[in-house]
């Protein structure tokens, strides 16, 4: 069953089990394999696009100067790679209709 407000790996595996008919173990392994493939692609610098859902994009952010909001002291923020998600238009449309 779904946890309150959160879709988990177990929920995905359970849904595959019910809809496709795979065993619980095979369903869980399928979910893990998909997540592993996505993580591997991102580790190698590739973007991950799921048609009709969205795209996970890696961005390199350069070094910049930030400010501690409490003290106002300027501190350097090192360059880093960040992961962003851009929802597809069809997903955005579904979310707006559901809300």
Which structural domain, as residue segments, surrounds residue 3? 1-45
User: Are residues 37 and 53 located together in one domain of the fold?
Assistant: no
Instruction: Give percent above pLDDT 90 in the chain.
Output: 90
| CA separation for the pair 99, 62 (Å, rounded) | 36
Instruction: Verify that 60 and 33 share a domain, yes or no.
Output: no
Q: Full-prediction pTM beyond 0.85?
A: no
Q: What is the CATH number of the domain that holds 4?
A: 4.10.520.10
52 and 29, same domain (yes or no): no
Give the other-Cβ count within 10 Å of 52's Cβ.
Answer: 9
In contact, 25 and 13? CB cutoff 8 Å: no
Give Cβ neighbours of residue 54 (< 8 Å, ≥ 6 apart). Answer: 85, 86, 87, 88, 91
Residues 94 and 58 in one domain: yes
Phi, psi of 60 (to 5 degrees): -95, 120
Is the confidence at residue 3, as pLDDT, over 90?
no
The mean pLDDT of the chain is: 93
Q: List, for residues 20-31, the tens digit of each pLDDT value.
A: 999 999 999 999
Same domain as 32, residue 80 = no
- Does residue 51 sit in the same domain as residue 39? no
41 and 53 assigned to the same domain: no
């Amino acid at each position: 069953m779904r946890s309150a407000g959160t879709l988990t790996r177990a929920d995905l595996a359970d849904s595959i089990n019910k809809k496709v008919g795979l065993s619980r173990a095979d369903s869980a392994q399928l979910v893990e394999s998909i997540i592993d493939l996505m993580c591997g692609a991102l580790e190698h610098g590739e973007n991950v696009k799921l048609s009709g859902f969205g795209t996970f994009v890696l961005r390199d952010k350069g070094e910049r100067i930030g400010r501690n909001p409490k003290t106002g002291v300027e501190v350097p923020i090192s360059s880093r790679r960040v992961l962003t998600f851009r929802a597809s238009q069809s997903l955005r449309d579904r979310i707006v209709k559901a809300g």
